[in-house]
Amino acid sequence: MLFRLFLLFAVIPIIEVYLLIKVGRLIGPLPTVVLLLSISMAGAWLVRHQGFHILRRIQNELAMGRLPAADLVDGALVLTGGILLLTPGFFTDFVGLFFLIPPTRALIKRFLGLWLQARLSRGTTIVMRRF
Protein backbone atom coordinates (compact mmCIF):
# COMPACT_ATOMS: atom_id res chain seq x y z
CA MET A 1 0.00 0.00 0.00
CA LEU A 2 2.80 2.38 0.89
CA PHE A 3 4.52 1.64 -2.42
CA ARG A 4 1.31 2.42 -4.33
CA LEU A 5 0.99 5.75 -2.54
CA PHE A 6 4.61 6.53 -3.31
CA LEU A 7 4.02 5.79 -6.98
CA LEU A 8 0.88 7.91 -6.95
CA PHE A 9 2.63 10.91 -5.41
CA ALA A 10 5.70 10.47 -7.61
CA VAL A 11 4.11 9.76 -10.99
CA ILE A 12 1.24 12.26 -11.00
CA PRO A 13 3.44 15.36 -10.53
CA ILE A 14 5.71 14.12 -13.32
CA ILE A 15 2.70 13.72 -15.62
CA GLU A 16 1.44 17.19 -14.64
CA VAL A 17 4.77 18.90 -15.31
CA TYR A 18 5.16 17.07 -18.61
CA LEU A 19 1.67 18.14 -19.77
CA LEU A 20 2.19 21.72 -18.61
CA ILE A 21 5.43 21.95 -20.59
CA LYS A 22 3.89 20.36 -23.69
CA VAL A 23 0.79 22.57 -23.64
CA GLY A 24 2.85 25.65 -22.76
CA ARG A 25 5.10 25.07 -25.75
CA LEU A 26 2.11 24.46 -28.00
CA ILE A 27 -0.08 27.45 -27.09
CA GLY A 28 2.21 29.64 -24.99
CA PRO A 29 2.53 30.28 -21.27
CA LEU A 30 -0.24 32.87 -20.82
CA PRO A 31 -2.90 30.88 -22.72
CA THR A 32 -1.88 27.81 -20.72
CA VAL A 33 -2.51 29.61 -17.43
CA VAL A 34 -5.80 31.03 -18.75
CA LEU A 35 -6.86 27.54 -19.87
CA LEU A 36 -6.05 26.06 -16.47
CA LEU A 37 -7.98 28.81 -14.69
CA SER A 38 -10.94 28.41 -17.06
CA ILE A 39 -11.08 24.67 -16.49
CA SER A 40 -10.91 25.24 -12.73
CA MET A 41 -13.73 27.82 -12.79
CA ALA A 42 -15.92 25.59 -14.96
CA GLY A 43 -15.18 22.69 -12.63
CA ALA A 44 -16.05 24.75 -9.56
CA TRP A 45 -19.39 25.66 -11.13
CA LEU A 46 -20.02 22.00 -11.98
CA VAL A 47 -19.08 20.88 -8.44
CA ARG A 48 -21.50 23.39 -6.96
CA HIS A 49 -24.30 22.48 -9.36
CA GLN A 50 -23.86 18.72 -8.97
CA GLY A 51 -23.35 19.01 -5.21
CA PHE A 52 -26.63 20.86 -4.65
CA HIS A 53 -28.46 18.45 -6.94
CA ILE A 54 -27.12 15.44 -5.03
CA LEU A 55 -27.91 17.09 -1.69
CA ARG A 56 -31.55 17.57 -2.76
CA ARG A 57 -31.75 13.92 -3.83
CA ILE A 58 -30.32 12.79 -0.48
CA GLN A 59 -32.83 14.94 1.40
CA ASN A 60 -35.71 13.54 -0.68
CA GLU A 61 -34.59 9.95 -0.08
CA LEU A 62 -34.28 10.56 3.66
CA ALA A 63 -37.71 12.22 3.73
CA MET A 64 -39.18 9.07 2.16
CA GLY A 65 -37.45 6.93 4.78
CA ARG A 66 -34.97 5.32 2.39
CA LEU A 67 -31.21 5.03 2.70
CA PRO A 68 -29.61 7.24 0.01
CA ALA A 69 -26.64 4.92 -0.57
CA ALA A 70 -26.22 5.62 -4.29
CA ASP A 71 -26.54 9.35 -3.73
CA LEU A 72 -23.95 9.24 -0.95
CA VAL A 73 -21.55 7.53 -3.36
CA ASP A 74 -22.34 10.24 -5.93
CA GLY A 75 -21.57 12.87 -3.29
CA ALA A 76 -18.24 11.25 -2.46
CA LEU A 77 -17.32 11.09 -6.15
CA VAL A 78 -18.26 14.76 -6.66
CA LEU A 79 -16.17 15.69 -3.62
CA THR A 80 -13.24 13.71 -5.03
CA GLY A 81 -13.65 15.44 -8.38
CA GLY A 82 -13.68 18.83 -6.67
CA ILE A 83 -10.51 18.05 -4.77
CA LEU A 84 -8.82 16.94 -7.99
CA LEU A 85 -9.87 20.18 -9.67
CA LEU A 86 -8.19 22.15 -6.88
CA THR A 87 -4.90 20.49 -7.78
CA PRO A 88 -3.26 22.51 -10.56
CA GLY A 89 -2.60 20.65 -13.77
CA PHE A 90 -4.30 19.20 -16.81
CA PHE A 91 -4.22 15.53 -15.80
CA THR A 92 -5.90 16.01 -12.42
CA ASP A 93 -8.39 18.45 -13.99
CA PHE A 94 -9.33 15.85 -16.59
CA VAL A 95 -9.74 13.12 -13.98
CA GLY A 96 -11.67 15.53 -11.73
CA LEU A 97 -14.08 16.42 -14.53
CA PHE A 98 -14.48 12.70 -15.21
CA PHE A 99 -15.72 12.32 -11.62
CA LEU A 100 -18.16 15.23 -12.00
CA ILE A 101 -19.99 14.41 -15.22
CA PRO A 102 -23.01 12.19 -14.41
CA PRO A 103 -22.59 9.62 -17.24
CA THR A 104 -18.91 9.04 -16.47
CA ARG A 105 -19.67 9.05 -12.74
CA ALA A 106 -22.14 6.22 -13.40
CA LEU A 107 -19.31 4.23 -15.00
CA ILE A 108 -17.13 4.82 -11.95
CA LYS A 109 -19.97 3.73 -9.64
CA ARG A 110 -20.48 0.55 -11.68
CA PHE A 111 -16.74 -0.21 -11.50
CA LEU A 112 -16.68 0.45 -7.74
CA GLY A 113 -19.68 -1.83 -7.26
CA LEU A 114 -18.06 -4.66 -9.20
CA TRP A 115 -14.78 -4.15 -7.34
CA LEU A 116 -16.49 -4.24 -3.95
CA GLN A 117 -18.56 -7.27 -4.93
CA ALA A 118 -15.40 -9.14 -5.97
CA ARG A 119 -13.67 -8.28 -2.70
CA LEU A 120 -16.68 -9.36 -0.67
CA SER A 121 -16.96 -12.67 -2.55
CA ARG A 122 -13.24 -13.39 -2.01
CA GLY A 123 -13.55 -12.60 1.67
CA THR A 124 -10.87 -9.91 1.58
CA THR A 125 -13.35 -7.29 2.80
CA ILE A 126 -15.52 -7.87 5.81
CA VAL A 127 -18.62 -5.82 6.50
CA MET A 128 -19.54 -5.57 10.17
CA ARG A 129 -22.93 -4.47 11.33
CA ARG A 130 -23.74 -3.15 14.78
CA PHE A 131 -27.20 -3.50 16.22
Q: What is the pTM of this model?
A: 0.81
130: phi then psi, degrees, rounded to nearest 5: -100, 140
pLDDT for 130:
66
pLDDT band at 43 (very low <50, low <70, confident <90, very high): confident
pLDDT band at 54 (very low <50, low <70, confident <90, very high): very high
pLDDT for 23:
95
pLDDT for 61:
93
Buried b (16+ CB within 10 A) or exposed e, 8-18: eeeeeeeebee
Q: Which residues contact 122 (CB under 8 A, 6 or more apart)?
A: none
Q: Quick check: 54 and 68 in contact, CB under 8 A?
A: no
- Give 3-state DSSP helix, strand, coil % of the chain, rounded to 5: 85, 0, 15
pLDDT for 26:
95
Q: Quick check: 39 and 100 in contact, CB under 8 A?
A: no
pLDDT for 60:
94
Q: Where are the domains of the chain?
A: 36-122
| Residue range 67-112, pLDDT digits in tens | 898 899 999 999 999 999 888 899 999 999 899 988 999 999 999 9
